[in-house]
Amino acid sequence: MTRFLLAVAVIVGASAAGAGVGVAAGAGVGVASATAGAASRGPEIVYPPARRGDHVDVYHGVRVPDPYRWMEDIDSPATRAWVQAEDRITRRFLAAIPGRQAIADRLTRLWNFERWSPPERHGRYWFYTHNDGLQNQPVIFVTSDPGVPAHVLLDPNTLSQDGTVALRETAISDDGRLFAYALSDAGSDWQTWHVRDVATGKDLPDQLLWSKAGGGSWRKDDSGFYYTRYEPPAPGNALKAANEYQKLYFHQLGTPQNEDVLTYMRRDDPDWFVDGEVTDDGHYLIIEANHGDQVENTLLVQDLSAPHAPLLPVIERPTAVFSFIGNIGKTLYVLTDDHAPRYRVIAIDLSSPGRSHWRTVIPQSAETLEAASLVGRQLIAQYLKDAHSAVRRYSARGRLLGEVNLEGMGTASGFQGHLQDAVTYYSYSSFTTPPSIYRLDLASGASSLWRQPFVGGFTPADYTERQVFYTSKDGTRVPMFVAARKGVKLDGTNPTLLYGYGGFDISLEPAFSSALAAWMQMGGVYAMANLRGGGEYGEAWHRAGMKTHKQNVFDDFIAAAEYLIAHRWTSTRRLAIWGASNGGLLVGAAEEQRPDLFAAAVPQAGVMDMLRFRDFTVGKGWESEYGSVDDPEEFRAMLAYSPVQNAKPGVHYPATLVTTADHDDRVFPAHSFKFTAALQYADPHDRPILLRVETRAGHGAGEPTSKRIAEMADIYAFVLDAMGLAH
C-alpha cells in the first residue's frame, strides 16, 4: 500500500495556545542571542535577525499570526541568507564542543561492520544487498546459490562522488532476468526508474521519470512492469509543489515513457495514493488505494489473462485495512483489521468475493499481527508481542505449524519468497545484537545462520536491554525499552536519550544501530517509548493518538520521561529527547509543554507548523492522521500543540538542535526554519537553539553513511554539552 509516511520515522487547551499566539504577535524585530553552552555558560551566540512579518490567517474566527510566512519561500534571497547564517553559527558551535571529533571517530569504528539483507529468489538467481561497513550505499549482489560467492549487479556508490545517489526501489522479473531499479538524487523522494539485464549487467534504454513513493511489479512474461508516477511539477518547484493524483502506469519494455498505459487513478480526489502488484502466478493485478495516509484502503483485481479485463472492486470502500499477502489460484489471502483491531488473515475467493463468503484463516490473537507472507504454501505470520517480534508458521488452511525461535526481545523481518520455495531468509536483531541473517527451512521449521556480522570493539554481552511499563496521564499502560551497559547505577546521573514517534500506525521495535552502540559505550542510557498513535497494539492504539486525540501521544512521552527520572535512570539535567519526522513534532510539542523536564531536545525534520503542512509536497495526505484546519474541532486541537504557534516568550526552553535538509521534499524544510526562528525569538538569551541544515540530503532515506555519522556526532556532542558532560 502506498503511504507517504513520516518516517528515519504527529491536542488540547485552545486558551493556552491562543495566549501564546497573542503574545508573539505583538513583539517587535530584534537580534537574539544565547549562551554558548548550557554547562559552560560561555559567551553568547548572536542569532541572525529573523524579520517578523505581519501576516495573519483567520481560521473559524480565530486570528493566527504567521510572522515567518516569508520563510516558506525557501529559495528567496532572504530565506537563503538567514538559513546560511544559522547553519554557519551551528557548525561553529558544534565543531567547538570538546570531544566532538572523538565521538565521530567512535561512531566510524562501530559503523564499520558488514551488513546484509535476507536473500530473495527470482528464477534461478538470488538477490541481496551488502555493505562492507563504511560504504555510503549498500550494493546489490546476485548469485545462483546463497551458499556460493555472489557478484555485484549494481553499486550505487559509483553513481556519485559524495554517495548521495541512492537506490530506493527494486522490481525483479519473475525469472530473475530483468532488474528494474529506482534511483533518487540528494535525498529527494523523486525517483527515476532504470532497467538492467541481469546476465550482462548492462542497462537497457528505458528510463522513467517523476515516480515517487511507489514500487514496481513485473508482468509474468517480462513484457514490462507497473509503477506509479505524478505529473511533472512546474520547473523549479519540484521540492515544494503539492503532489496530487498519483497514477498507476504500465511501462512496456523498450517503449518511451510517453507511451505508458494509464492503468488506474482516482479522479474524484487528488489525495488518493495507489499501488499495484502482480500476483506470484502472474494471473492477477492487485491494486490497493488509500486516501491520504489513512490506513484503510480499497482493493481491486484485474484478470491479466483476459485482454481488456475490467477492474473488479473486491473492497470498494476503505472501511478497514485490506493488505494483499498472496494468492493460491483464485483465493486471495489478505491481512485485515476488519472486525479484528489486532488483525487477522482472511481468504477471499474471487469466484464469490462477497463478505459473506470470506473465510478467516488466521484469527485475531492477543498479539498484534503486524505482517504476513505466503511462501512455500505456508503463511508466515509476524506478530508484535509487547512491541517485539514473535513469528509463527501456518498452513494455507490456517493450521499452526510451529513458531520460529528467536533469540530474545528483538525484531525479525524478511520471510519473502514464492509458493514453490522450500526455504526463506530473515533478519534478526535487537538493541544489543547486530543484524544476523538466517535461513528458514520450511519443511522442518529449523533456522540456520547464513551471515553474522562482527562489530569490532563492541561486545553484546556487556550490555542489557529490558522492557518496562509505565502509566500515562490518563492511566494508560505504555511499554518502553531501556538499553544500557550492564551494571548501570540507578543514581540519577546517567546521560539518557529518550526516543519516540507515536503516529501513522508505525511501530517502534528494538533493533541494533551503530549509533546506539556508541551511545551505550559512552555510558549513555537509551530509552524508546512505544507511544499511542503507533501500531504496537493494533488500530485502537493508533486511533488513540490521532487527530483530536493527539495530545495522548505527548502525554505518553512526558510520562516516559517522568518514569525515567522517578526510577533514577536519569534526571532532568541529564535527559535529552529525540525524534524524527512525526517524532520531530513530538519533540517540539513536548519541550514546549514541559520545558522544565529536559536538558536538551533534538527534533529532526519535524512537522512543526500544523496549520500549514497540507500546503506542501505530500502533506495533504497527512490530514487523515492529524486532522484538517477546515474542521473547527481539529483546527483547535492542532493549534493547541503546533510547535510554531506555541513558542512562548519568557519561557526557558531546553537546549535545542533543530535539523533538516535542503532536499527534504516530504517534510518541507520551512517547518524547521519557522520553528527555529520562533523558539529563538521566544528564548533568546538562555540555552542554545540551533538550526542544522544538511546539504544534498532529504528526509533520511538513502542518506550516505558519511552524512549519517557526521549528523550523529553532532547530535551526541550537542546533548552531552547541554548536560555538562562534553569533554
Tell me the catalytic residues: 581, 699
Which regions of 515-556 does DSSP assign to beta strands (E)? Answer: 525-529
| Cβ contact 207:194 at 8 Å | yes
| Nearest of 687, 707, 630 to residue 93 by alpha carbon | 687
Rounded to an integer, what distance in angstroms lies between the CA atom of residue 378 and that of residue 152? 31
Place of cell 537580534: 31
How many other C-beta atoms lie within 10 A of the C-beta of residue 432? 24
Rounded to an integer, what distance in angstroms lies between the CA atom of residue 693 and that of residue 86? 9
**305 CB burial (10 A radius; 0-12, 13-18, 19+):** exposed
| Nearest of 607, 594, 521, 581 to residue 554 by alpha carbon | 594
Extract the C-alpha cell encoding 483. 538499553
Residues 6+ apart with CB under 8 A from 470: 477, 478, 480, 559, 560, 563
The SS3 call for residue 182 is strand
What DSSP character marks residue 307? T
Q: For residue 594, how far is the Cα from the chain centroid? A: 25
Q: What is the DSSP string of 238-273?
A: TTTSPP---EEEEEETTS-GGGPEEEE--SS-TTEE
Q: Tell me how far apart the terminal alpha carbons of the chain are, to the nearest angstrom.
A: 47
Rounded to an integer, what distance in angstroms lies between the CA atom of residue 194 and that of residue 424? 27
Rounded to an integer, what distance in angstroms lies between the CA atom of residue 664 and that of residue 698? 4
Rounded to an integer, what distance in angstroms lies between the CA atom of residue 326 and that of residue 375? 9
| Nearest of 194, 233, 187, 226 to residue 210 by alpha carbon | 233
Extract the C-alpha cell encoding 721. 554539552
CA dist list (Å): 523 to 96, 457, 462, 711:
22, 15, 12, 20
